[in-house]
Copies of this chain bind each other. A is one copy, B any other.
Amino acid sequence: MTTGVIDESFGGVTPDAARRLLLGAVEAFAERGFHATTTRDIAGRAGMSPAALYIHYKTKEELLFHISRVGHERSVAVLEEAVASAPDCAERLARAVRAFVRWHAEHHTTARVVQYELAALGEEHYARIVLLRRRSEEILRAVLEEGVAAGEFDIPDLRGTALAVMSLCIDVARWFSPEGRRTPDEIGALYADLALRMAGRRPAGLTSSSG
């Protein structure tokens, strides 16, 4: 019955029972992993009988797929919004990282399922999720690319650095805890700075040439 922190990512899901099941599943999958979670557990958290689950979802895996799809769509949207309007490349990178990190921290429960239970998806569902993941990689790489082109960044290995920044953000979902000493926003700010360092940001107004 307990729902803990409500994840507004799933606010639009109807009917009510389907949403409650989704929220219960997110919690359970995050806590115990997909395979260790029983349909009885999920249904219990939603205040329903095990059988009721199958009215709204064909299988347990379909439940995971919905969570994964909505979660990925949200995180990509967050990233897109962040890069949409920024004065320069440095600010674009900072906003992107800050927003992406914040999402992974604030929604660490969903994010954990999204990032670490991929292997439990069926093949077809997995393929659809991979497409969404590629989107976010492309967005981040483009930000770095433009920064290099504009002379704002100094990045010897563009693809590798993009991957590393992405990786850094994603891993927040693994270790973040609301009981920890930092808020999602503080971590976002720290990581934005670290990303700028990784990108070798130059002070505005300078051009290349150095050791």
A residues with a Cβ closer than 8 A to B are 31-36, 115-116, 119-120, 156-157, 160-161, 163-164, 167-168, 170-172, 174-175, 182, 187, 190-191, 193-194, 197-198, 200, 203, 211
Contacts and interface: CB of A to CB of B under 8 A. Distances in A.
Contact of A197 (B119, B187, B200): B200
Contacts of A193: 156
Contact of A171 (B156, B157, B170): B170
A168 B175 contact: no
Main secondary structure of the interface of A (DSSP, over half): helix
Nearest to A164: B194
Q: For A32, A167, A172, A175, which residue has the most chain B Cβ atoms within 10 angstroms?
A: A167
A167 B171 contact: yes
Q: Which 3 A-B pairs have the closest CB atoms?
A: A35-B36, A35-B35, A171-B171
A115 B171 CA distance: 11
Contacts of A120: 33, 36
Given A32-B35, A35-B36, A160-B182, 12 more contacts: A33-B33, A33-B34, A33-B120, A34-B36, A116-B174, A157-B190, A161-B194, A168-B171, A170-B174, A171-B171, A171-B174, A197-B200
B175 A187 contact: no
A32 B121 CA distance: 11
A175 B191 CA distance: 20
Contacts of A197: 197-198, 200
Contacts of A167: 168, 171-172, 174-175
Contacts of A36: 34-35, 120
A163 B191 contact: no
